[in-house]
Amino acid sequence: MANSRCKVSLRAFPEKSNQSPSCQSVLLQRLLDSHHSFSLLAKKGHFMSTHEIDSIAALPLATNISWMAEIETFWVATDSEELNDLQRDGATAVIDLAAEFEAGKGLENSDLRARVIGRMSDIQVRDFALGSHNEESAQWYWKMWRELLVSAPPGFVAPIASVFAALAYERGDGELAHKALDRALADDSQYSLAILLRRVFSAGWPAQSFTVMRRELHPKVVNVIFG
Protein backbone atom coordinates (compact mmCIF):
# COMPACT_ATOMS: atom_id res chain seq x y z
CA MET A 1 0.00 0.00 0.00
CA ALA A 2 1.54 3.27 -1.06
CA ASN A 3 1.77 5.92 1.63
CA SER A 4 3.83 8.88 2.77
CA ARG A 5 4.62 7.77 6.30
CA CYS A 6 7.94 8.97 7.68
CA LYS A 7 10.76 6.60 6.73
CA VAL A 8 13.99 6.84 8.71
CA SER A 9 17.29 5.71 7.22
CA LEU A 10 19.34 3.91 9.85
CA ARG A 11 22.54 4.94 8.08
CA ALA A 12 21.64 8.61 8.08
CA PHE A 13 19.73 8.69 11.34
CA PRO A 14 22.47 10.11 13.60
CA GLU A 15 22.68 13.17 11.38
CA LYS A 16 20.36 16.12 11.85
CA SER A 17 17.03 15.45 10.16
CA ASN A 18 15.31 18.01 7.98
CA GLN A 19 11.92 16.56 8.84
CA SER A 20 9.47 18.50 10.99
CA PRO A 21 9.31 17.54 14.70
CA SER A 22 5.98 15.80 14.06
CA CYS A 23 7.75 13.36 11.72
CA GLN A 24 10.79 12.65 13.89
CA SER A 25 11.06 9.83 16.40
CA VAL A 26 13.02 10.59 19.58
CA LEU A 27 12.62 6.90 20.43
CA LEU A 28 14.50 5.79 17.32
CA GLN A 29 17.27 8.30 17.98
CA ARG A 30 17.76 7.13 21.57
CA LEU A 31 17.60 3.46 20.60
CA LEU A 32 20.18 3.96 17.88
CA ASP A 33 22.54 5.85 20.19
CA SER A 34 22.14 3.28 22.97
CA HIS A 35 22.60 0.36 20.60
CA HIS A 36 25.88 1.77 19.31
CA SER A 37 27.20 1.97 22.88
CA PHE A 38 25.85 -1.32 24.16
CA SER A 39 26.82 -3.40 21.12
CA LEU A 40 30.49 -2.92 21.96
CA LEU A 41 30.05 -4.94 25.16
CA ALA A 42 26.97 -7.11 24.76
CA LYS A 43 26.81 -10.80 24.07
CA LYS A 44 24.00 -12.38 22.13
CA GLY A 45 21.00 -12.93 24.39
CA HIS A 46 19.49 -16.30 25.26
CA PHE A 47 15.74 -16.14 24.90
CA MET A 48 12.94 -17.98 26.61
CA SER A 49 10.54 -20.14 24.68
CA THR A 50 6.81 -19.61 25.12
CA HIS A 51 3.54 -21.38 24.48
CA GLU A 52 2.27 -18.08 23.04
CA ILE A 53 4.75 -18.21 20.15
CA ASP A 54 2.08 -19.18 17.59
CA SER A 55 -0.64 -16.95 19.00
CA ILE A 56 0.07 -13.81 16.99
CA ALA A 57 -0.80 -15.02 13.50
CA ALA A 58 -3.29 -12.89 11.60
CA LEU A 59 -6.98 -13.71 12.00
CA PRO A 60 -9.36 -13.85 9.00
CA LEU A 61 -10.72 -10.49 10.18
CA ALA A 62 -7.42 -8.87 9.15
CA THR A 63 -8.30 -9.31 5.48
CA ASN A 64 -12.00 -8.59 5.74
CA ILE A 65 -12.79 -5.98 3.08
CA SER A 66 -15.09 -3.79 5.18
CA TRP A 67 -12.74 -3.94 8.18
CA MET A 68 -9.78 -2.93 6.02
CA ALA A 69 -11.77 -0.06 4.52
CA GLU A 70 -12.75 1.24 7.96
CA ILE A 71 -9.15 1.21 9.20
CA GLU A 72 -7.96 2.94 6.04
CA THR A 73 -10.12 5.96 6.94
CA PHE A 74 -7.96 6.48 10.05
CA TRP A 75 -4.61 6.33 8.26
CA VAL A 76 -2.46 9.42 8.97
CA ALA A 77 -0.80 11.20 6.06
CA THR A 78 2.38 13.00 7.10
CA ASP A 79 1.51 15.98 4.88
CA SER A 80 -1.96 16.40 6.34
CA GLU A 81 -2.90 19.96 7.32
CA GLU A 82 -4.50 18.44 10.42
CA LEU A 83 -1.53 16.26 11.35
CA ASN A 84 -1.31 17.31 14.99
CA ASP A 85 -5.05 16.90 15.49
CA LEU A 86 -4.85 13.39 14.03
CA GLN A 87 -1.92 12.57 16.31
CA ARG A 88 -3.85 13.77 19.34
CA ASP A 89 -6.83 11.73 18.24
CA GLY A 90 -4.63 8.65 17.91
CA ALA A 91 -2.94 9.07 21.29
CA THR A 92 -6.30 9.58 22.99
CA ALA A 93 -7.70 6.52 21.24
CA VAL A 94 -4.84 4.37 22.59
CA ILE A 95 -5.60 5.41 26.17
CA ASP A 96 -9.35 5.00 25.70
CA LEU A 97 -9.00 1.52 24.21
CA ALA A 98 -6.65 0.40 26.98
CA ALA A 99 -9.29 1.51 29.49
CA GLU A 100 -11.85 -0.57 27.59
CA PHE A 101 -9.61 -3.63 27.88
CA GLU A 102 -9.12 -3.01 31.59
CA ALA A 103 -12.91 -2.94 31.96
CA GLY A 104 -13.22 -6.19 30.01
CA LYS A 105 -14.86 -4.47 27.04
CA GLY A 106 -11.91 -4.25 24.67
CA LEU A 107 -13.53 -6.24 21.88
CA GLU A 108 -16.89 -4.46 22.02
CA ASN A 109 -15.88 -1.19 20.34
CA SER A 110 -14.76 -2.06 16.81
CA ASP A 111 -14.66 1.61 15.78
CA LEU A 112 -12.16 2.42 18.52
CA ARG A 113 -10.01 -0.60 17.62
CA ALA A 114 -10.01 0.46 13.98
CA ARG A 115 -9.12 4.02 15.00
CA VAL A 116 -6.09 2.87 17.00
CA ILE A 117 -4.84 0.57 14.24
CA GLY A 118 -5.19 3.31 11.64
CA ARG A 119 -3.68 6.10 13.73
CA MET A 120 -0.68 3.91 14.58
CA SER A 121 0.48 4.61 11.02
CA ASP A 122 1.86 7.85 12.48
CA ILE A 123 5.25 7.51 14.22
CA GLN A 124 4.38 9.92 17.02
CA VAL A 125 1.24 7.97 17.88
CA ARG A 126 3.31 4.78 17.76
CA ASP A 127 5.98 6.21 20.08
CA PHE A 128 3.27 7.52 22.41
CA ALA A 129 1.71 4.05 22.47
CA LEU A 130 5.03 2.43 23.31
CA GLY A 131 5.41 4.54 26.44
CA SER A 132 1.81 4.58 27.63
CA HIS A 133 1.80 1.58 29.96
CA ASN A 134 3.30 1.09 33.40
CA GLU A 135 3.69 -1.95 35.65
CA GLU A 136 0.07 -1.75 36.81
CA SER A 137 -1.47 -1.43 33.35
CA ALA A 138 0.97 -3.65 31.42
CA GLN A 139 -1.35 -6.67 31.39
CA TRP A 140 -4.18 -4.70 29.77
CA TYR A 141 -1.88 -3.21 27.17
CA TRP A 142 -0.45 -6.66 26.47
CA LYS A 143 -3.91 -8.00 25.73
CA MET A 144 -4.80 -4.93 23.68
CA TRP A 145 -1.72 -4.99 21.45
CA ARG A 146 -2.04 -8.71 20.87
CA GLU A 147 -5.67 -8.36 19.78
CA LEU A 148 -4.79 -5.45 17.52
CA LEU A 149 -1.83 -7.32 16.05
CA VAL A 150 -3.85 -10.37 15.01
CA SER A 151 -6.56 -8.19 13.47
CA ALA A 152 -4.40 -5.53 11.77
CA PRO A 153 -4.69 -5.55 7.94
CA PRO A 154 -1.66 -5.70 5.64
CA GLY A 155 0.05 -2.31 5.59
CA PHE A 156 -0.86 -1.60 9.22
CA VAL A 157 0.91 -4.49 10.96
CA ALA A 158 4.47 -3.15 11.34
CA PRO A 159 3.94 -0.44 14.00
CA ILE A 160 1.66 -2.61 16.13
CA ALA A 161 3.91 -5.66 15.84
CA SER A 162 6.90 -3.52 16.86
CA VAL A 163 5.14 -2.24 19.98
CA PHE A 164 4.01 -5.75 20.87
CA ALA A 165 7.59 -6.99 20.36
CA ALA A 166 8.85 -4.38 22.82
CA LEU A 167 6.33 -5.48 25.45
CA ALA A 168 7.25 -9.13 24.92
CA TYR A 169 10.93 -8.32 25.35
CA GLU A 170 10.28 -6.42 28.56
CA ARG A 171 8.38 -9.46 29.87
CA GLY A 172 11.46 -11.59 29.27
CA ASP A 173 10.02 -13.36 26.24
CA GLY A 174 12.65 -12.70 23.60
CA GLU A 175 11.48 -15.48 21.31
CA LEU A 176 8.00 -14.03 21.05
CA ALA A 177 9.52 -10.57 20.61
CA HIS A 178 11.46 -11.80 17.58
CA LYS A 179 8.37 -13.56 16.25
CA ALA A 180 6.49 -10.26 16.41
CA LEU A 181 9.34 -8.53 14.59
CA ASP A 182 9.08 -11.21 11.90
CA ARG A 183 5.50 -10.09 11.36
CA ALA A 184 6.51 -6.42 11.36
CA LEU A 185 9.22 -6.91 8.75
CA ALA A 186 7.03 -9.17 6.63
CA ASP A 187 4.58 -6.28 6.49
CA ASP A 188 7.26 -3.64 5.81
CA SER A 189 10.83 -4.86 5.30
CA GLN A 190 12.17 -1.31 5.71
CA TYR A 191 10.31 -0.43 8.90
CA SER A 192 13.02 1.36 10.87
CA LEU A 193 11.83 0.65 14.41
CA ALA A 194 11.51 -3.08 13.73
CA ILE A 195 14.98 -3.21 12.18
CA LEU A 196 16.52 -1.41 15.13
CA LEU A 197 14.64 -3.47 17.72
CA ARG A 198 15.93 -6.61 16.01
CA ARG A 199 19.50 -5.37 16.48
CA VAL A 200 18.90 -4.31 20.07
CA PHE A 201 17.19 -7.56 21.07
CA SER A 202 19.76 -9.74 19.30
CA ALA A 203 22.53 -7.91 21.14
CA GLY A 204 20.91 -8.87 24.45
CA TRP A 205 20.25 -5.32 25.60
CA PRO A 206 18.85 -5.55 29.19
CA ALA A 207 15.06 -5.39 29.22
CA GLN A 208 15.14 -3.15 32.28
CA SER A 209 17.29 -0.60 30.45
CA PHE A 210 14.80 -0.57 27.59
CA THR A 211 11.97 0.03 30.07
CA VAL A 212 13.80 2.94 31.68
CA MET A 213 14.58 4.52 28.32
CA ARG A 214 10.97 4.16 27.16
CA ARG A 215 9.65 5.86 30.31
CA GLU A 216 12.18 8.68 30.08
CA LEU A 217 11.24 9.46 26.49
CA HIS A 218 7.47 9.32 26.94
CA PRO A 219 7.11 12.91 28.28
CA LYS A 220 8.98 14.20 25.22
CA VAL A 221 6.60 12.38 22.89
CA VAL A 222 3.61 13.69 24.86
CA ASN A 223 4.98 17.21 24.45
CA VAL A 224 5.33 16.80 20.69
CA ILE A 225 1.72 15.66 20.38
CA PHE A 226 -0.07 17.74 22.99
CA GLY A 227 2.33 20.68 23.38
| pLDDT values of the chain reduced to their tens digit, one per residue, 227 residues | 433 343 332 222 332 333 455 565 666 665 555 444 433 333 333 333 333 445 899 999 999 999 999 999 999 999 999 999 999 999 999 999 999 999 999 899 999 999 999 999 999 999 999 999 999 999 999 999 999 999 999 999 999 999 999 999 999 999 999 999 999 999 999 999 999 999 999 998 899 888 898 889 999 999 999 99
- Could you tell me which residues come within 8 angstroms of residue 175 by beta carbon, excluding any fewer than 6 positions away? 47, 48, 49, 50, 53
Domain contains 91: yes
Q: What pLDDT is attached to residue 28?
A: 61
CB 44 within 8 A of CB 204: yes
CB 194 within 8 A of CB 184: yes
Domain contains 120: yes
Q: What pLDDT is attached to residue 26?
A: 67
Domain span holding position 191: 22-34+56-226
Dist CA 144 CA 96 (whole Å): 11
Number of domain units in the chain: 1
CB 171 within 8 A of CB 204: no
Domain contains 141: yes
- Could you tell me which residues come within 8 angstroms of residue 139 by beta carbon, excluding any fewer than 6 positions away? none
- CB burial class (10 A; 0-12, 13-18, 19+) of residue 154? middle
- Could you tell me which residues come within 8 angstroms of residue 170 by beta carbon, excluding any fewer than 6 positions away? 138, 207, 210, 211
Domain contains 3: no
HSE at residue 158, side-chain half, CA atoms within 13 A, is 21
Q: What pLDDT is attached to residue 1?
A: 40
Domain contains 196: yes
Q: What pLDDT is attached to residue 36?
A: 43
- Using a cut of 0.85, tell me whether the model's pTM lies above it: no
Domain contains 41: no
Domain contains 50: no
Q: What pLDDT is attached to residue 205?
A: 87
Q: Write down the H helix ranges in the chain.
A: 26-38, 65-72, 83-102, 110-119, 123-130, 138-151, 157-170, 174-187, 192-202, 207-226
**79-218-134 Cα angle (round to 5):** 130
Q: What pLDDT is attached to residue 113?
A: 98
Q: What pLDDT is attached to residue 126?
A: 97
- CB burial class (10 A; 0-12, 13-18, 19+) of residue 8? buried
Dist CA 209 CA 18 (whole Å): 29
Dist CA 209 CA 110 (whole Å): 35
Domain contains 198: yes
Dist CA 44 CA 50 (whole Å): 19
